[in-house]
Structure 1
Amino acid sequence: MSLTFESWRLKARDLLIKGVPPNQTYWDESPSLFSFEETALFAPVPHPKVPKEFMELAEAVACARDPERWALLYRLLFRLNHENQNLLNIVVDEDVHKAKLLAKSVRHDIHKMHAFVRFKKADIDGVETYVAWHKPEHLILPLASPFFVRRFGDKPWSIFTPDGSAHWNLQSLSFSEGMPQNEFDHEDPFDEVWKTYYRSIFNPARLKIKMMKAEMSPKYWSSLPETEIIHELIRNTPKRLQDMAEAPRFKAEVPKTSSWEELRTAALSCKACPIAQQANHTVFGEGPLQADLMIVGEQPGDEEDLAGKVFIGPAGQILSQALALAGIDRESIYVTNAVKHFKWTQGTESKARIHKKASGAEMHACKPWLESEIALVKPKVILALGVTAGTALYGRLVQIQSERNKVNTSSAFAKSLTISWHPSAILRAFNDDDREQKMKDLVEDLKKAHHLSQT
């Protein structure tokens, strides 16, 4: 059994009360501490006090893979009580600086674990269970695991690492010994889904290998199914770039007019890209032309295409619910899409039209219509919903999870530009927890965008 943060805390408190200075202690990875001297050189501290910030810092540092972490923490604890209660504010102090660097590294590792754990379905004693193997840089399993309870708590799961394993049985979270990767032998057909998804988001025009490795370090690649195709994608990048350069470029011809009706009428006959050939209607935006808030979705769905109306299908109903929860009157905002036609493919076993993502060229073709709508409405705030809308407005590939809390104040389209989940992402959520969290995020982002539009 190795030394834990709680066992360190109890022992450190006892030593501090007795007045034992840091240079008379020796910490190791066992639950033991050895004091070199019998007599303390400092006055006892009957009632030790530490700021809340120290406990948060210490909990993170305790997970660092650094043999000196326990001694460092006791040294800080001792100095807080004997030297300076505001020690943690002195960022140039050697101990403070090192502790904060370790804590930052640990928190970064926790973030990466949350992003890179890939569960695989397994049948264990007749029970559907989800398992994953991950190799973190630090000893973060106890701090990182509660996230998975919140996000995937409706199914039993286990996460194995070389240092320890976490298990969720739908009622409680427990921990056990670790497992080497060579003993983790599980395959899952869903691995192919990850590869398909990664192929779809891989943009050869923006390939920067150094940056890619910084964001998704190769040390995690062995446990990520999608990384099996990275070398293939890099190898094929020159050909894909050539194909992209030779591909036909479409662009809508938009009339110069200050009339919304004339603009909409012209859009109804737009045939600038192949999507228009299979669509029933051009789905233009709707709402007051003086709206301070504009919401831009991705593209129309089946019901929108049939009716020629924006956001009236299942995703539109989710948007209406979110607006109501946010206390926003839908009639007060302008709602549109980045792409004006429904792109679809025929279902293999039914006559249903299956939604298909618009390509970059098709999005580019529709962009003049979106720009014209923005120029007419002149919204103070634009909220982009989904990656396609975000890409059209930000001018680059966006990551909603990491960018939805940020406000872009340097956009050419509006005073403030923000992004959130598309309602269809809520409809396609992995489970109830994921669906609930994305809906909560969307409502929160709507409130923030509406507040910005009123200031």
Structure 2
Amino acid sequence: MNWNEWREKARKLLNEGVAPAEAVWNDSPEFQFSVLERKPLEKPTIPKEFLEIGPLIAAARDPDRWDLLYRIVYRLNHESIHLLNVTVDNDVKRAMDLVKSVRKDIHKMHAFVRFKKIDIDGQETYIAWHKPEHLTIELGTPFFARRFGDKPWSIFSPDASAHWDLKELTFGPGMAEHEFTHQDEFDEVWKTYYKSIFNPARLNLKMMRQEMSPKYWSSMPETALIHELVRETPQRLQKMAAAPQVRAEVPAKLGLRDLKSLASNCTTCPWAKSSTQTVFGEGDSQARLMVVGEQPGSEEDLAGHAFIGPAGKVLADILNDLGIKREEIYITNAVKHFKWTPSDDGKARIHKKPSGGDMHACKPWLEAEIAAIRPKVIIALGVTAATSILGRLVKIGEERERNITNNALAENVIVSWHPSSILRAFNQEDRDQKIAELRSDLLRAFKLSAL
């Protein structure tokens, strides 16, 4: 039985006044009930909140989920329409626990699915095998249709499968793991990526198993490296300890003009030699709102101004739309030099993501800018900026709606998408969503700075 089949049967039972104790549910569309005293309902009331959590509960791998759903919908109609607000109620508590578990399982699916490339009749296609904890294929896979809608793909699980043909998402039977044996070059890409981001100084096996449960490892190629990386951790830590940690030396209590002059001669990081110049922040020296980005791009490096390239154009369009004048705020980057690598033909400079060492080296300049301006609100755009400001790794999608107030650098910190992530969006829907969210976050930050 699925959610829609359950709804049809539950509606009939409610119409006939069948109490929860009478109905016997199972995972087939059939049900049984005995004849006791009933309270028929001509038109059952189903609140929107129940319709939102119902599909999640129906996807839980719990044999009592159908009984639980019917008890709740029956009580919503016969006891209180506000039952779901009573968080201490046993049925409500159990329902919310299942909702939380299923949502977490969907999140894990989005994080841990690993596609492999195959060729079907000359067409490039991607396939993956994943073992979810719950029955989440139908709920979790529309995400991939939105994010990877320009390629056909299939995701298999033991219970069901999902298939995207560039137009429609359909579902079919599952597949056992031993039947899914395909390997490709993407396996090595994942291994290389995982090895590059593995930080031995932050190794916590207990936390690793909580965040990336071993039950997912069989379908994730990079996990084959875990034992090797753990074994090498002591040696890698010794190398890290021996390596010098460079950090800019910035005199205390300087004004912006003096800071900019000093920063122009900074050679602390290796990128000072390969870039054209230091790109310092600019704007109102008494701004109540500071915008912090990642690092200058190629155009910014040549011109010496922050946010004037393609990402800067996206930011400028949003600021203009909101009526926020650039000269009334302060705009800077967490890293002040352009980090790049040459293109294959050697004719272009390709942006390279700043490392933790790069952020560490430039952090004194950023802190000095903040101390000189003393903004009421800082909005950090992108992971690099957010990490520099907050001193920890940040997941933008999970934290962008928060107002972070326990930070030593500013009274209020908001994180949001970097405009470059909009330029890299997988499709128009993803692009439009991120523009709307960045616009909303900038407006919220601006209004908060004006209070």
Q: How does 1:144-293 map to 2 (within 5 A)?
A: 144-293=140-289
Shift of 1:338: 1.4
Shift of 1:382: 1.0
Shift of 1:164: 0.9
**Equivalent residues of 1:152, 1:433 under 8 A apart:** no
SS in 1 for 2:366: helix
Identical aligned residues as a percent = 60
TM-score (norm 1): 0.91
* Cα pair distance change 1:278/1:180, threshold 3 Å: same
- Name the counterpart of 1:108: 104
Shift of 1:123: 2.3
1:296 to 281, 292, 308: 292
Amino acid at match of 1:380: K
* Cα pair distance change 1:8/1:378, threshold 3 Å: same
- Name the counterpart of 1:22: 20
Shift of 1:262: 1.6
Q: How does 1:391-410 map to 2 (within 5 A)?
A: 391-410=387-406
Moved more, 166-175 or 85-94: 85-94
Amino acid at match of 1:344: W
RMSD: 2.3
* Cα pair distance change 1:383/1:197, threshold 3 Å: farther
* Cα pair distance change 1:161/1:266, threshold 3 Å: same
- Name the counterpart of 1:449: 445
**Equivalent residues of 2:149, 2:427 under 8 A apart:** no
- Name the counterpart of 1:360: 356
Amino acid at match of 1:324: N
- Name the counterpart of 1:11: 9
Shift of 1:432: 4.3
SS in 1 for 2:435: helix
Structure 2 gap ranges (5+) = none
* Cα pair distance change 1:233/1:424, threshold 3 Å: farther
Amino acid at match of 1:282: T
TM-score (norm 2): 0.92
**Equivalent residues of 1:255, 1:266 under 8 A apart:** no
Aligned counterparts of 2:6 and 2:64: Cα–Cα separation in 1? 13
Shift of 1:294: 1.0
- Name the counterpart of 2:137: 141
Aligned counterparts of 1:221 and 1:100: Cα–Cα separation in 2? 28
CA-to-aligned-CA distance 1:306-326 (integer Å, 9 cap, x gap): 222222223322322333344
SS in 2 for 1:345: strand
Aligned counterparts of 1:7 and 1:146: Cα–Cα separation in 2? 20
* Cα pair distance change 1:394/1:22, threshold 3 Å: same
Aligned counterparts of 1:443 and 1:192: Cα–Cα separation in 2? 38
- Name the counterpart of 1:54: 50
Shift of 1:409: 0.7
* Cα pair distance change 1:98/1:236, threshold 3 Å: same
Shift of 1:13: 2.0
SS in 2 for 1:22: coil
Shift of 1:257: 4.6
Shift of 1:29: 1.4
- Name the counterpart of 1:311: 307
CA-to-aligned-CA distance 1:57-107 (integer Å, 9 cap, x gap): 332211111112112222233333334444333333332222222222112
**Equivalent residues of 1:195, 1:225 under 8 A apart:** yes
* Cα pair distance change 1:219/1:254, threshold 3 Å: same
* Cα pair distance change 1:393/1:218, threshold 3 Å: same
2:347 to 351, 365, 375: 351
Shift of 1:253: 2.2
* Cα pair distance change 1:231/1:440, threshold 3 Å: farther
1:386 to 382, 385, 388: 382
Structure 1 gap ranges (5+) = none
Aligned counterparts of 2:267 and 2:86: Cα–Cα separation in 1? 64
* Cα pair distance change 1:227/1:425, threshold 3 Å: farther
CA-to-aligned-CA distance 1:176-208 (integer Å, 9 cap, x gap): 111112222333433433333333333222222
* Cα pair distance change 1:77/1:438, threshold 3 Å: closer
Q: How does 1:74-113 map to 2 (within 5 A)?
A: 74-113=70-109
* Cα pair distance change 1:230/1:423, threshold 3 Å: farther
Amino acid at match of 1:354: I
SS in 2 for 1:190: helix
- Name the counterpart of 2:31: 33
* Cα pair distance change 1:452/1:345, threshold 3 Å: same
Amino acid at match of 2:357: A
**Equivalent residues of 2:146, 2:427 under 8 A apart:** no
- Name the counterpart of 1:336: 332
Aligned counterparts of 1:134 and 1:352: Cα–Cα separation in 2? 39
Aligned counterparts of 1:444 and 1:122: Cα–Cα separation in 2? 40
SS in 1 for 2:171: strand
Amino acid at match of 1:450: F
Moved more, 280-289 or 224-233: 224-233
* Cα pair distance change 1:427/1:81, threshold 3 Å: closer
Shift of 1:33: 0.9
**Equivalent residues of 1:19, 1:40 under 8 A apart:** no
Amino acid at match of 1:92: V
